[in-house]
Amino acid sequence: MADRSPPSAPRPLEAGQLLRLARKDRAAANRAVASLSLEQQLALVCDAPAARRAALIELAPAPEQLIPLLPEAEFCFTAKAVGLESSAWLLEYATPEQVVACLDLDAWEGHSPVPAKLDAWIDAIAAAEDGAALRGIQALDPELIVLYLMQRVSVELKPNDDEDWQPPEGGQTLDGQFYFVALHDGDDVSAIVRILRLLFQADYWFYFRMLQGVIWEIPTENVEWAHRWRVGRLQDLGFPTWEEAMELYGYLSPKQRLQIDPDHRPLSVEEWHLPVWIPGLPEGRDSKHSLFRTLAGLEPEERRSAFYAFVSTANKVAVADYMEISDVETTPKAIDKAARWISRGLEHVARERGLTQADVVQRVPLDQLFRIGANLDPDAARPPRPIDPSDDVDASGDVVA
C-alpha cells in the first residue's frame, strides 16, 4: 500500500544558507524568510552572528514588525555590528525601551557616561526619520541629554533688559531667545540642531528645559541622577548591583557548604523578561557540564524555573567579573563560567551529602551552588580583576577609575 502520510515540512534554511541564496537569488531568499513565522524570523536573526543580522533583517517582509521584537541587548549588539553611523534604519523601528537600553548598556563606564559613546548613540538617534528621532530623544533621561549638549555647545539666553546685547559669534538660534555655539572648532553640530528643532516644534517645554539645563544645571548632579535611573533599569533587566553580584564569591566554611535549608524552594523562580536571546540551555548526556545534564532530567516546569534561575546567576557573574554587558560575547562567557562553577558545587554537595544531583538542584539555589563551587577553588574562580580597597566604588558597585 502506498504511503499516504503527508510529507514532512522542509527544514528552514539557516542564516548562512539564506545569505548565500540572497547573493544568487534575492527574491528566493525573500520568499524563504517570508515563509517563516515572525517568531521563527526572530530566532533566525538572534541565532546568527551579530555581523550577519542586518542582512537577515533586510530579507524580512516586515522589518518594522521584526525589529521591535529583538531583546534589548540583542538590539544593541546588532546596531553596534552595523555601525552606529549606519544604524538609523534600525533605530527608526526601535522601541523606546530598546533605545534607552542601548545607552544604558553601552554608553557608560563605571559611574559616568563615556562622552564619545554618548555622542555616537545620540547622533545615531538624530539621524533617524523625524518621528523615530523624536521618540528616541524623548525616551532618554533629560539629564543625559543635557550632559550630551554640555559637552558639545555653550548656550546663552538673550536678556530682556539689555538692548546692547549681541549674540555670541557663530551663534545659532531657533527661537530668537536661546543661542548656542559649538565648544570645539570644526565640530559638526548638525545633529544637535536637528534634535533641538524637533523638540522646538513638537515638545517646546522639553526643548526649553534642555537649553536652560545647559546654562544652569550642574554636570555632576546630572551624572548622579542619570546614573540612578540607569542602575534601576539594569536591575529590571536582570543585572544586579556589583555588591549583590559579588555575593557569589563570598566565603563559606566547609560546614556551610553542605548546609541545606529545608525552607528553600529554589525551583519556584518566576519567569522574567530577558534582555538577551537565550532560547534554552544545553541539555543532554553529551553536555560538558553536569548541571545541564541534571536539568535535562527534571520535569518541564522545574526546567523552566531552573532556566530563569540560571540566567540570573549568569548575569551576576557578568557584573561581578566586570564583563562588558554590551559585548555580544559576554553572554556565552558568563553562561559557561556560571555552569562550570555551579557544576563544581553541585557535584560536591551531592557527593558529600549522599544525594542525587537532581535532589541537590531541587533543594539548593543555583547561585548558592556557584558560591560553593567557587569556594572549592577560589584562586581559579575569582573575578579576573582584583578588588582594590583603594578603588572608588560608586553606588552601583562599579569601580571608578
Domain stops at, among 190, 214, 233: 233
Per-residue pLDDT band at 164 (split at 50, 70, 90): confident
State whether 113 and 219 are in the same domain.
Answer: yes
Say which residue, 151 or 272, is predicted with more confidence.
151
Q: How far apart are CA 53 and CA 50, in angstroms?
A: 5
Is residue 387 a part of any domain in this protein? yes
Written as nine digits, the cell of 184 is 570645539
Give the model's confidence band at 395: pLDDT under 50 very low, under 70 low, under 90 confident, else very high.
Answer: very low
β pairing state of 178-182 and 108-109:
unpaired
Using CA atoms, how far residue 116 sits from 64, 78, 91, 109, in Å, is 29, 19, 19, 11
Same domain for 79 and 223? yes
What span, in angstroms and rounded, lies between the C-alpha atoms of 30 and 36?
10
Q: What does residue 364 show for φ and ψ, rounded to 5 degrees?
A: -125, 130
Separation of alpha carbons 311 and 294, rounded Å: 16
Q: Which of residues 233, 266, 281 is at a domain's end?
A: 233
Tell me the per-residue pLDDT of 252-266, one tens digit each, with 9 for 90 and over: 999 999 999 888 888
Task: Specify if 6 maps to a domain.
Answer: no
Mean pLDDT of the chain: 89
The pLDDT value given to residue 284:
60
The reply to whether 116 falls in a domain is yes
Residues 6+ apart with CB under 8 A from 180: 149, 153, 154, 155, 156, 171, 172, 173, 189, 192, 196, 211, 214
Q: What span, in angstroms and rounded, lies between the C-alpha atoms of 104 and 231?
A: 8
Q: Are 282 and 210 in a shared domain?
A: no
Q: Would you say residue 4 lies in a domain? A: no
pLDDT at 269: 78
The pLDDT-based confidence of 163 (bands split at 50, 70, 90) is confident
Per-residue model confidence as pLDDT tens digits over 91-139: 999 999 999 999 999 999 988 999 999 999 999 999 999 999 999 999 9
Cβ-in-10-Å burial (0-12, 13-18, 19+) of 104 comes to buried
Residue 88 lies in a domain: yes
- Residue 372 — very low, low, confident or very high, per pLDDT cuts 50/70/90? very high
Looking at the structure, do residues 199 and 304 belong to the same domain, yes or no? no
The residue range of the domain holding 102 is 70-233
Predicted local confidence at residue 295, as pLDDT: 92
Regarding whether 272 and 130 lie in a shared domain, the answer is: no
Residues 282 and 155 in one domain: no
- Whether residue 378 lies inside any domain: the answer is yes
Same-domain status, 260 and 166: no
Q: Are residues 257 and 224 in the same domain?
A: no
C-alpha cell read off for 138: 524623548
- The pLDDT, as a whole number, for residue 154 is 95
* Same domain assignment for residues 199 and 276: no
**Interatomic CA distance for residues 109 and 327, integer angstroms:** 13
pLDDT average, residue stretch 322-335: 92
Does residue 10 register a pLDDT over 60? no
- Give residue 355's pLDDT band: very low, low, confident or very high (50, 70, 90): very high
Q: Do residue 193 and residue 282 come from a single domain?
A: no
**Confidence at 11, pLDDT banded by 50, 70, 90:** low
Work out how many domains the chain is built from and give that number: 3
**pTM for the full model?**
0.86
Q: Which region among 12-21, 200-209, 368-377 has the lowest average model confidence (pLDDT)? A: 12-21
Please check whether residue 169 is in contact with residue 209, taking contact to mean a CB–CB distance below 8 angstroms.
no
**Distance, CA of 153 to CA of 195 (rounded, Å):** 13
